[in-house]
């Protein structure tokens, strides 16, 4: 074996954030001209590892070796200079600027006008046109990015990453808002890059994608590297069991609730905004878990936020227990027995600087008014304690700040918050995003218990196995339309994907 | 297409407001529509425009530069102290020789640049929010200004007896066009080029629009912010220099609250306070609106205190209309 077998080696990388060991002695070796997939549950450390490679985070320990030379990457500019580019998981456009400025940001083509060195807009336009044409994408270089759909924006990110002519391209969830055809398109681009000797580090949750495109697979779990295998030596079950660290059989608790009777009925709900949800009709039964699938940008979150009174509705009707209701704000929604756990736990869920007691009782604080309009702390404590015990929140005390809990425990506190309002309909938007496997199982168990008690759940999820494992029915959205509802018994990943790409522009 | 008309109206709302103001004033007093009035409004806007151009930088990255007004004040005192006539009895520097005018100008600009650099340093190196960093420097600069101003033999006397070649910059004209207007126009064009045609300007829009995006695209965000505040400082210094020349004197109270007018002009002109959005014509129209209110309402004899009420209402309603543009698209 020669020394240049690997174009890139990340050896013994460790990274610690306050309270979490995000990366623990992780080693990753990448060969030129291959697609190397990294798999793992949310929070396994994949993105953190890539951010260390791309200069966004500085590893606490370990070394990075590129083409046999040890390098030190201090920021993203240096990573780019070393020939490493990245498609970021969270889309990173500057929304108010146009396509070409987004693509060439940080390295605008310049031209000398006498003593002045100005941006060469003409060259930038032509280069952008050429670049987009080379990947068969038709977007006007001067279009303002905020006017584009999520999948177009993802293409711009892809085009940008390719335009660096990098030797290593990191793709962190590049298909999260692409339709089936677009994914095929991307894979063709990747195969071309491979032919030219480019190494691709590919992160995805979608196991079928991994088997389609990758040569090698590295699997991470809880900040540690489980190992690296040839993709051809692995099966889907093997990947999953290595990812979760136990056998596949117990990923989801068994559901034995038989839903009965309609509790919520939605008729032709439409948003006033052209790109948002239109004409959505569905029913939710008592004791049911209704899953909502779809790509990023399919307006699932917008739909449930409208149901909860956070967004305006132009037309359509909502019935609860057969009675038409008007929900104009979360205050109304709460009155009708609804609760919403938002998608972004950190920005719209927790109050990070408040403790568990405050976080748990905030949605229901009026109930605890005692004499002289003051809060009755004893009752608040008792109720919170009961919930914390019932949901098995791991915390030293009720006075612990919520920001110091793990993601899974934070999510449980948020569940406690809403359960204290005694809801009938729980809307959970990506309830297990970014929490570890064990906690996921506990959340699923809680969901089952709740439905047994007769509560109904709407669950948005981007994780196909979660939808298939937990939902009684799965409704799939695409570009704001409801593209179909599948029963648990005949739902498959393939069917969901097809419905998720039913309407494309 | 009522939606299109609505879009159009909200896009150009501020231009209609300016037009409406002019029409109302012109109906009350038709002599308002004259070259002389037009020229007066332009020259009264000139130094304000330069201050607003500087203040727009901080707004572009989602901050606010509160030190603008006090920098104008210090620059006015500094340049006036260096440009008194030799035979004026109460000179700031009694023995100071007659300097070529560009020397005090360069000194003033350099001081403004350095103050700006210090703002930028606190903001980019120590991550102090711009609002706080410039709140601090605003107070510091006012203190420094007064220490300088109160030195014997001046002892806080208004600085007067300025050289005519200096005051001529503020009051003179060429072919009937005041120098002030020409200088403001040149600065406007330079700022337009900086913001729209240089990589520095485009980087600033990117930093304001999505700082993370700029960082992962390899933009040196810290250095950009440092330079940005330094240039803003130099612009305030230029405005102070011109204010001293225009009024023929200076005190340490010069420039008081100019930063508020500058920020108001920017936001009324469509600059988003959350950063990343704004145009040079927007700033100009924003400044004009306030000058027209000032000048025009005096022109038709309205109680000056009404001007303040109208001004305040315009600031709030302009932003209320402007923000709708972004909310509706969500």
* Three-state secondary structure of B261-324: HHHHHHHHCCCCCCCCCCCHHHHHHHHHHHHHHHHHHHHCCCCHHHHHHHHHHHHHHHHHHHHH
B interface toward A at CB cutoff 8 Å? 193, 197-199, 202-203, 205-206, 209-210, 212-220, 276-277, 328-330
Residue B256's φ and ψ, nearest 5 degrees, are -55, 125
Are A450 and A426 contacting, i.e. CB atoms less than 8 angstroms apart?
yes
- The whole-number pLDDT of residue B329 equals 45
* Residue B211 to chain A, least CA–CA distance (Å): 8
Top residue of A96, A157, A161 to mutate, by most chain B CBs within 10 Å, is A96
Question: How many A/B residue pairs have CB atoms within 8 Å?
Answer: 77
- C-alpha distance from residue A314 to each of A246, A301, A326 (Å): 48, 17, 12
Which residue in the set A75, A77, A96 is minimally distant from B276, CB to CB? A96
Q: Give the CB-side neighbour count of residue A128, counting CA atoms within 13 A.
A: 26
pTM assigned to the model: 0.83
The answer to whether A93 faces chain B, any CB pair under 8 Å, is: yes
User: Where do the H-state alpha helices sit in A196-337?
Assistant: 207-213, 236-244, 300-307, 330-335
* Residue B207 to chain A, least CA–CA distance (Å): 8
pLDDT in tens, A22-46: 899 999 999 999 999 999 876 788 9
Q: Give the CB-side neighbour count of residue B158, counting CA atoms within 13 A.
A: 10
CB spacing of A105 vs B328 below 8 angstroms:
no
Mean pLDDT over A72-94 rounds to: 90
- The whole-number pLDDT of residue A501 equals 84
Report the residue of chain B nearest A112, measured CA to CA. Answer: B198
The answer to whether A156 faces chain B, any CB pair under 8 Å, is: no
Q: What residue ranges in A272-328 does DSSP mark as E strands?
A: 280-285, 289-294, 315-320, 323-325
CB spacing of B219 vs A117 below 8 angstroms:
no
The answer to whether A86 faces chain B, any CB pair under 8 Å, is: yes
Q: How many CB atoms lie within 10 A of CB A3?
A: 8
CB spacing of B205 vs A146 below 8 angstroms:
no
Tell me how many degrees the CA angle B174-B175-B180 measures, rounded to the nearest 5: 40
- The whole-number pLDDT of residue B330 equals 43
Report the residue of chain A nearest B208, measured CA to CA. Answer: A94
Q: Residues, chain A, total?
A: 505
The structural domains of chain B, with segments of one domain joined by +, span: 15-325
Beta bridge partners of A456: A425
3-state percent breakdown (helix, strand, coil) of chain B, nearest 5: 75, 0, 25
Give the 3-state secondary structure of residue A426: strand
The structural domains of chain A, with segments of one domain joined by +, span: 3-250, 253-337+424-430+458-505, 343-422
Tell me whether domains A3-250 and A253-337+424-430+458-505 share a fold.
Answer: yes
Mean pLDDT of chain B, nearest integer: 92
Which residue in the set A97, A116, A119 is minimally distant from B209, CB to CB? A97
pLDDT band (50, 70, 90) for residue B322: confident
Would you give the DSSP letter of residue B48?
Answer: H
**Low-confidence winner among A91-100, A427-436, A477-486 (lowest mean pLDDT):** A427-436
Domain A253-337+424-430+458-505 top-level CATH class: alpha beta
Beta bridge partners of A144: A98
Chain A residues in contact with B198 by the CB 8 A cut-off are 117-119
Residue A10's φ and ψ, nearest 5 degrees, are -110, 115
Question: In this model, does residue B139 exceed pLDDT 70?
Answer: yes
**Homologous superfamily of domain range A3-250:** P-loop containing nucleotide triphosphate hydrolases (3.40.50.300)
Are A268 and A315 contacting, i.e. CB atoms less than 8 angstroms apart?
yes
pLDDT in tens, B271-314: 988 899 999 999 999 999 999 998 998 888 888 898 889 889 98
CB spacing of A92 vs B216 below 8 angstroms:
yes
Going by C-alpha positions, the residue among A318, A308, A418, A287 that lies closest to residue A359 is A418
pLDDT in tens, A155-172: 999 999 999 999 999 999
CB spacing of B203 vs A80 below 8 angstroms:
no
Residue A65's φ and ψ, nearest 5 degrees, are -120, 120
Going by C-alpha positions, the residue among A327, A302, A341 that lies closest to residue A432 is A341
Report the residue of chain A nearest B218, measured CA to CA. Answer: A77
Question: In this model, does residue A51 exceed pLDDT 90?
Answer: yes
The correct answer on CATH 1.20.950 for the domain covering B15-325 is: no
Distance CA A310, CA A188 (A): 41
The answer to whether A54 faces chain B, any CB pair under 8 Å, is: yes
């Amino acid at each position: 074996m020669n020394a240049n077998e690997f174009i890139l080696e990340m050896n013994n990388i460790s990274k610690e954030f306050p309270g979490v060991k995000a990366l623990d002695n992780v080693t990753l070796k990448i060969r030129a001209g291959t697609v190397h997939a990294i798999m793992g549950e949310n929070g396994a450390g994949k993105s953190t590892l890539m951010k260390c490679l791309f200069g966004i985070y500085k590893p606490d320990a370990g070394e990075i070796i590129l083409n046999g030379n040890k390098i030190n990457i201090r920021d993203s500019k240096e990573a780019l200079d070393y020939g490493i580019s990245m498609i970021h998981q969270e889309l990173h456009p500057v929304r108010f600027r146009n396509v070409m400025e987004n693509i060439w940001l940080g390295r605008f083509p310049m031209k000398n006008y006498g003593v002045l060195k100005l941006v060469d807009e003409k060259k930038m336009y032509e280069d952008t046109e050429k670049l987009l044409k080379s990947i068969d994408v038709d977007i006007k270089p001067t279009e303002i990015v905020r006017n584009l759909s999520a999948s177009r924006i993802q293409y711009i990110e892809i085009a940008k990453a390719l335009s660096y002519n990098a030797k290593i391209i990191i793709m962190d969830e590049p298909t999260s808002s692409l339709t089936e055809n677009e994914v095929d398109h991307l894979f063709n681009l990747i195969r071309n890059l491979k032919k030219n000797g480019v190494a691709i580090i590919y992160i995805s949750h979608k196991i079928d994608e991994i088997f389609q495109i990758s040569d090698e697979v590295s699997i991470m779990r809880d900040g540690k590297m489980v190992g690296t295998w040839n993709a051809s030596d692995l099966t889907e079950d093997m990947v999953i069991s290595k990812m979760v660290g136990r056998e596949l059989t117990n990923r989801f608790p068994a559901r034995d609730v038989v839903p009965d009777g309609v509790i919520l009925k939605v008729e032709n709900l439409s948003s006033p905004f052209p790109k948002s949800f239109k004409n959505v009709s569905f029913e939710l039964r008592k004791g049911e878990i209704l899953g909502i699938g779809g790509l990023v940008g399919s307006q699932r979150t917008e739909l449930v936020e409208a149901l909860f009174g956070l967004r305006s509705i132009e037309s359509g009707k909502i019935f609860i227990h057969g009675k038409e209701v008007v929900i104009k704000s979360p205050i109304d929604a709460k009155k009708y027995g609804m609760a919403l756990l938002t998608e972004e736990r950190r920005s719209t869920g927790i109050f990070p600087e408040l403790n568990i007691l405050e976080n748990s009782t905030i949605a229901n604080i009026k109930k605890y008014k005692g004499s002289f309009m003051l809060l009755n702390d004893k009752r608040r404590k008792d109720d919170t304690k009961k919930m914390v015990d019932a949901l098995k929140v791991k915390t030293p005390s009720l006075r612990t700040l919520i920001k110091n809990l793990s993601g899974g425990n934070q999510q449980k506190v948020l569940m406690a918050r809403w359960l204290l309002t005694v809801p009938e309909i729980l809307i959970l938007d990506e309830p297990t995003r970014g929490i570890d496997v064990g906690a996921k199982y506990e959340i699923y168990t809680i969901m089952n218990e709740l439905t047994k008690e007769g509560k109904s759940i709407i669950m948005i999820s981007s994780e196909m196995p979660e939808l298939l494992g937990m939902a009684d029915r799965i409704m799939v959205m695409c570009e704001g339309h409801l593209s179909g509802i599948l029963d648990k018994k005949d739902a498959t990943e393939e069917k969901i994907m097809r419905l998720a790409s039913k309407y494309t522009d | 297409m009522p939606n299109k008309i609505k879009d159009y109206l909200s896009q150009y709302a501020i231009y209609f407001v300016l037009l409406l103001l002019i029409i109302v004033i012109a109906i009350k007093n038709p002599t308002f529509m004259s070259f002389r009035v037009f020229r007066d409004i332009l020259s009264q806007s000139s130094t304000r425009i330069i201050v607003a151009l500087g203040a727009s930088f901080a707004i572009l990255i989602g901050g606010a530069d509160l030190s603008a007004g006090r920098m104008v004040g210090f620059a006015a005192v500094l340049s006036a102290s260096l440009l008194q006539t030799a035979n004026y009895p109460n000179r700031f520097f009694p023995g100071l020789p007659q300097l070529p005018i560009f020397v005090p100008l360069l000194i003033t600009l350099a001081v403004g640049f350095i103050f700006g650099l210090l703002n930028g340093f606190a903001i980019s190196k120590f991550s102090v929010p711009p609002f706080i960093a410039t709140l601090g420097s605003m107070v510091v600069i006012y203190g420094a200004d007064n220490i300088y101003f109160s030195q014997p033999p001046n002892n806080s006397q208004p600085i007067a007896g300025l050289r005519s070649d200096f005051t001529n910059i503020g009051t003179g004209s060429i072919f009937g066009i005041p120098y002030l207007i020409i200088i403001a126009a040149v600065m406007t064009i330079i700022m337009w080029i900086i913001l729209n045609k240089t990589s520095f300007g485009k980087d600033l829009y990117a930093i304001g629009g999505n700082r993370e995006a700029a960082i992962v695209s390899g933009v040196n965000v810290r250095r950009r912010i440092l330079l940005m505040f330094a240039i803003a400082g130099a612009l305030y210094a230029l405005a102070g220099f011109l204010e001293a020349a225009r009024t023929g004197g200076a005190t340490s109270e010069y420039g008081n609250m100019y930063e508020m007018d500058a920020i108001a002009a920017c936001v009324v002109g469509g600059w988003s306070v959350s950063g990343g959005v704004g145009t040079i014509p927007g700033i100009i129209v924003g400044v004009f609106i306030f000058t027209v209110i000032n000048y025009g309402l005096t022109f038709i004899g309205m109680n000056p205190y009404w001007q303040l009420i109208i001004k305040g209402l315009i600031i709030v309603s302009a932003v209320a209309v402007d923000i709708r543009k972004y909310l509706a698209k969500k």
